[in-house]
Amino acid sequence: MSDVPSTIAPGAQREILAWYDATGRELAFRATSDPYAVLVSELMAQQTQAARAAEAWTSWMDRFPSLEVLASASAADVLRAWAGLGYNRRAVHLHRAAKVIVAEHGGRVPSTVPALEALPGVGPYTARAVAAIAFGEPVGAVDVNVRRVLGRIAAGGPEAFTPAEMQALADASVPRERAGAWTHALMDVGQRVCKPARPNCADCPAIAWCRYAAGERPGAVAAARTRRSEPAFESTNRWLRGRIVDRAREASGWIPFGEPIGDHGEGAVRTAVLALARDGLLEVRETPTTLEARLPH
């Protein structure tokens, strides 16, 4: 194992928590530690802006106030309620997770990381976030924001750590009595202050302990690096899948998919529809001349 710090300074922990207490974002889902509500918020917040996820979370909890209600809902209702959040597979995973929790855990969200990771759609970050926020477990949820914040404070940058070392650093840095608040605080520091390209170091509560702010840059790359151009979003398979599911949401029954959508030809549309069916987001019926789909019932 490389010679890297195993935790961050207690002073940095105290200042980050004090900063969060004073300035933390007031997002709807942060007002609860109910395990089901936390699980919903964490799955929604994956690849979705926190403020947008908070708004959708409020509507979701009104529509599906408990695991039992969600588990008994139709897949079509769940997918319609997910409209606007993107990455529709997350809705399918959440629905399946609710069914598993009701059937195998007596309707109670499991509290341990291994049991949480066994649920559909729940990966290492989500499992640790739920364990910390809902159950107060002293485990560190590591996403790209947390990795950047802790890596910069401890060693000048996340490049100094292997994934296993970073997870160990994150776990060791959790204040045991405030695991949930710490999880939210690191996210806020990463999103509001410790940004990837232009961090606002002067506003960071951990500046006095931060090696990055002190000028250390482990494994820094050349500043003038040519970036690969990204394809237009409308040309991606993700865009096409989203449009197909949106059409199915708006329909009350079977709808045909035999025409191009945007820049995607009939063959690409057919392939995407069948892939969505394999993922559980659509039901399909096919004849020699037509391909029709609807939300699953």
Q: Tell me the percentage of the chain whose pLDDT exceeds 90.
A: 59
Total tally of structural domains belonging to the chain = 2
**Residue 294 per-residue DSSP state:** E
**pLDDT (tens digit per residue) in 158-205:** 999 999 999 999 999 999 899 999 999 999 999 999 999 899 999 999
> Is 245 found in the same domain as 181?
no
Do 181 and 274 lie in a common domain?
no
Please tell me whether residues 119 and 178 are part of one structural domain.
yes
What are the beta bridge partners of residue 37?
none
Active-site residue 216, yes or no? no
Mean residue pLDDT across the chain: 88
- The per-residue pLDDT for 3 is 65
Q: Which residues pair with 255 in a beta bridge?
A: 293
- For position 276, which CATH number holds? 1.10.10
For the record, the structure tokens of 128 come out as 């640790």
Q: Residue 105 has what pLDDT?
A: 96
pLDDT grade for 13, boundaries at 50, 70 and 90 = very high
Structure tokens at 129: 């976030």
Q: Is residue 111 part of a domain?
A: yes
Task: Give me the pLDDT at residue 164, please.
Answer: 93
Q: Quick one: average pLDDT of 223-249?
A: 70
Identify whether 225 is part of a domain: no
Q: What is the pTM of this model?
A: 0.77
Question: Residues 181, 57: one domain?
Answer: yes
- Give a yes or no: residue 288 inside a domain: yes
Does 233 score more than 80 pLDDT? no
* 224 — pLDDT class (breaks 50, 70, 90): very low
The residue annotated as part of the active site, out of 15, 26, 42, 117, is: 42
Match 């207490």 to its residue by tokens. Answer: 21
The tens digit of pLDDT for each residue in 111-166 reads 999 999 999 999 999 999 999 999 999 999 999 999 999 999 999 999 999 999 99
pLDDT of 108 over the 70 cut: yes
Say if residue 53 is in the same domain as residue 178.
Answer: yes
Indicate if 265 and 178 belong to the same structural domain: no
Residue 258 sits in which domain range? 233-294
Q: In this structure, are 65 and 178 located in the same domain?
A: yes
Domain end call among 166, 186, 206: 186
| Domain closes at, from 129, 163, 186 | 186
Do residues 136 and 256 both lie within one domain?
no
Q: Residue 69's pLDDT is what?
A: 97
3-class SS of residue 1: coil
Question: How many CB atoms are closer than 10 A to CB 90?
Answer: 17
Q: Higher-confidence residue: 236 or 82? A: 82
The pLDDT value given to residue 221: 42
End-of-domain residue from the set 186, 220, 249: 186
pLDDT band per the 50, 70, 90 thresholds, residue 223 = very low
Same domain, yes or no: 122 and 258: no
pLDDT tens string 33-55: 999 999 999 999 887 788 888 88
Q: Give the CA diameter of the chain.
A: 69
- Percent over 70 (pLDDT), the chain: 94
Rounded-to-integer distance, Cα 206 and Cα 17, Å: 10
Specify the pLDDT at position 60.
95
Amino acid at the residue 217: R
Domain assignment present for residue 78? The answer is: yes
Is 217 domain-assigned?
no
Are 112 and 54 in a shared domain? yes
Same domain as 137, residue 50: yes
Buried b (16+ CB within 10 A) or exposed e, 277-293: beebbbbbeeeeeebbb
The pLDDT of residue 216 is: 82
CB within 8 Å of 75: residues ≥ 6 apart: 92, 95, 280, 295, 296, 297
The string of pLDDT tens digits covering residues 238-270 is: 888 888 888 888 888 898 888 888 878 888 888
Asked if residue 238 and residue 109 are part of one domain, the reply reads no
Q: What is the CATH number of the domain that holds 110?
A: 1.10.340.30
In a domain, 181, yes or no: yes
Closest Cα to residue 128, out of 140, 119, 144, 145? 140
pLDDT band of residue 93 (cuts 50, 70, 90) is: very high
Tell me if 228 is assigned to some domain: no
Residue 237 belongs to a domain: yes
